[in-house]
Amino acid sequence: MKRIDKMQIAMIGDKMLPLEDVGPEYLDRGIFFGDGVYEVLRSYNGKIFAIDEHIARFERSLGEIEILGVDIDEIRTRVKRAFDKAGLANAKIYFHITRGSGKRDHLPEANIKPNFFLTVMELKDNAKLKDEGVAVSIYPDIRWKRCDIKSLNLLANVLAKQDAEKKGCWEAVFVDDASFITEGSSSAFFAVAGDKLQTAPLNANILPSVTRKYIVKAAANIGLKIVEESLTPVAARIAGELFLGVTTRDIIPVVKFDGQVIGSGRPGKWTKLLIEEFKKFTT
């Protein structure tokens, strides 16, 4: 690199270069601020599940943080195009849009253009998760107060998941200051007691989960009453059945909660019925 008297510099790892030679991918507001929103979808046997709901939620997320000028139909087309190209029957589709690239400043530059990024990956079957269930830990809900927006600010979720792993758990559920469970670090949380299915009501601290919507529908189909009320960890420990709703795995039974074995330590009756009922949506 030529030394001139004054220049703006960047360093990537230990490599120095003139700032003007740095590509926009390094100057993405997604990395500087998490200034973007995302979605995760999956396909079952060659068909993308609930694409309309995911696209609608994505559009809402974009609007809530005022990322403007995105053609949502073009996004839908890209998702389908990439999925078709991949040719994977069971795929996980991730995509995000950030506000764009530019000089790092909280205020974006006036004519900034959003950045789009997507991946289609193979989603391997994991029957064990459904057959045996998983253990779940609890973690304080230290997330921001707009978890209804599916944003790239997910450090609290990462910390919760790391903590869960240390405890030998597959997932962590967040517990707020009022001692209520909000949701999992990457899942919605459900309890069954008697003939009632309980889950937290949707509010600013809860992502409007697409899987949740279908679980509620499946629950109604099999005769469960839906109760939208937040659950405490104490109530969860004594619930008959617990499970998670996850886009990539629909329903995952929870057989241990914060160290406490749930029910018989095996996936419960209603949970198994729900898993079967959910399959009707995906076939």
Active-site residues, by number, are 150
Size of the site for a second copy (CB under 8 A): 76
H/E stretch holding 277 reads helix 269-282
Is 228 among the residues that bind a second copy (CB under 8 A)?
no
DSSP reduced 3-state for 157:
helix
| DSSP string across 69-105 | ---HHHHHHHHHHHHHHHT-SSEEEEEEEES-B-SS-
Task: Tell me whether residue 169 or residue 197 sits nearer to a second copy (CB atom).
Answer: 169
157 is a contact residue toward a second copy (CB under 8 A): yes
The phi-psi region of residue 265 (left if phi > 0; otherwise alpha if psi is between -120 and 50; otherwise beta) is left
Going along 143-180, which residue ranges are E strands?
171-175
Instruction: Kindly state whether residue 104 participates in binding a second copy, applying the rule CB under 8 A.
Output: yes
- We find the least distance from the C-beta atom of residue 198 to a second copy, in angstroms, to be 25
d(Cα 50, Cα 54) in Å, to the nearest integer?
6
Residue of 103, 225, 269, 279 that binds a second copy (CB under 8 A): 103
Site mask for a second copy (CB under 8 A), range 115-134, x = bound: xxxxxxxx------------
The DSSP 8-state label assigned to residue 26 in this structure reads G
Among 51-59, 78-86, 235-243, 261-269, the segment contacting a second copy (CB under 8 A) = 78-86
Residue placing its CB nearer to a second copy in the complex, 164 or 218? 164
Contacting range for a second copy; rule: CB under 8 A; set: 103-111, 127-135, 239-247, 260-268: 103-111
- 90 lines the binding site for a second copy (CB under 8 A): no
Segment near a second copy (CB under 8 A), from 82-90, 128-136, 192-200, 218-226?
Answer: 82-90
Single residue of 55, 56, 65, 129 touching a second copy by CB under 8 A: 65
CA distance 7 to 251: 55
**Pairing state between β 250-257 and 134-140:** parallel
Smallest distance, Å, CB 186 to a second copy?
6
User: Using the 8-state DSSP alphabet, how is residue 22 labeled?
Assistant: S
